[in-house]
Amino acid sequence: MRINWLRYAVVCNLLVIAVLCASCGPSPGYRAFVDNTPRFYAQLAVECDGLLPRGRVTEAAETHKLARDTNSLPPLIRALNPDSILIDTNLVLLRIGTGVFSFGIVWRQSDDDADLWVLSAYTEGSRREVYARKRSTDRKRVTRMRQTIAWLLPIWQKHSRPGDTTARHFQEACQPVRPARSSTQTGSNGNGCPTTPERNCL
């Protein structure tokens, strides 16, 4: 009888040790996430990008409400079954699970490079970056586009045939949109081109 009791005590102690060891290490969900494929991370980053235009969601109640609104979530994020979703101007934070087995997934702008965004997973005592890519801001893309146009237009004009208005149309299409002026304010410079600043004659 005493031997059976000792065996029972040993088994209980082993179970307690196993539970403590499991709780000290990363959760199974965290380990599964960081063991995924680059394609999965790339798609998840795209879905997080899609959440940014919704604007800031930082209040605790709102982050849980957004997570429960599964119909509005993209497929990979919905499949992760987040407990909360926090959105700020330069990050998206998904909280997966609750308690000791919970972990976080964050898609955020790098502190060192404004164009670099990094996808990371973290839990108590562990953090891993799983994916990163350049995400140029709209302003920089527009600036580069305008620089390319400024470089190409003289070449295009030089090699265009007489009477070819393609270069002019291309330049006009790339001008910032401004409110149209009334007909009484529109004159002519003798070449059939309006003298208003909305158009640039070549």
Q: How far is CA 54 from CA 9, 49, 67, 112, 175, in A?
A: 56, 10, 13, 25, 29
Together in a domain, 59 and 96: yes
- Domain range enclosing 152: 139-175
Same domain, residue pair 83 and 131: yes
Count how many domains the chain has: 2
Q: In this structure, is residue 189 part of a structural domain?
A: no
**pLDDT tens, residue by residue, 16-75:** 444 444 445 667 889 999 999 999 999 999 999 999 999 999 999 999 999 999 999 999
Provide the 3-class DSSP secondary structure of residue 73.
coil
Same domain, 110 and 31: yes
CB 3 within 8 A of CB 77: no
What pTM was computed for the model? Answer: 0.58
Same domain for 77 and 119 = yes
In contact, 109 and 117? CB cutoff 8 Å: yes
Do 52 and 124 belong together in one domain? yes
Considering the domain architecture, whether residues 104 and 164 belong to the same structural domain is answered as no
For the sheet containing 116-123, what is the strand order? Answer: 82-88, 91-96, 103-109, 116-123, 126-134
Please state the φ and ψ torsions of residue 118, each to the nearest 5 degrees: -125, 135
Cα 122 from Cα 129, distance rounded (Å)? 9
